Structure 1
């Protein structure tokens, strides 16, 4: 397994005045309550999180992250019993046009395994969870 720490990458997002401004976009750009989902901040889950943790939601510089993972066969043949599972983080603070492009994704883990990690993925996620707790 390869782990790529995210703290320095998150710090870099706040060093440039342009990306620092984008990292507060979700707090400055509230949409109308028309029931359309234009950004994760419009969703019920985001609003529910804000009601549970009001201190976190008051600070616009706090980082909202999404996590995704899916396995693929790097050799392109299904005969080979080998798979790789990247774990990718997306920063939802930014506007949709910037948060969902590949250059803004952060690979946190790369899990090589002959089979999918399945229910044991929590073991692989432990370094990321520990770093997120520190942050």
Structure 2
């Protein structure tokens, strides 16, 4: 069990997926990711993801099913993705350079953060349904 979990949200609206462009750290700046953040002690993945998306994007979400496999970021840190549905708020890039809605055709060409690229096949399937 990792000592630190990071959660990411796949916000899908119709046939588009929200991606966020990193502003930091320098080695990841400019790359695209599923937005999210670290799970705090005593917090569930779902609660952490809802809190992080409220802070980073200004939106309220319902957290759904896990998406794809857990990704090891370091020996002690793991990344998990979940499908999320926006239930309120207004999208704003509070913690990112930019936000963008992409279609299934853009998944392969996006300059992904390496860990998030792991989920491209699952994201393609999710957008196809």
Normalised by the length of structure 1, the TM-score is 0.28
More strand by share: 2
Between the two structures, name the one with larger relative contact order (CA 8 Å, sep ≥ 6). 2
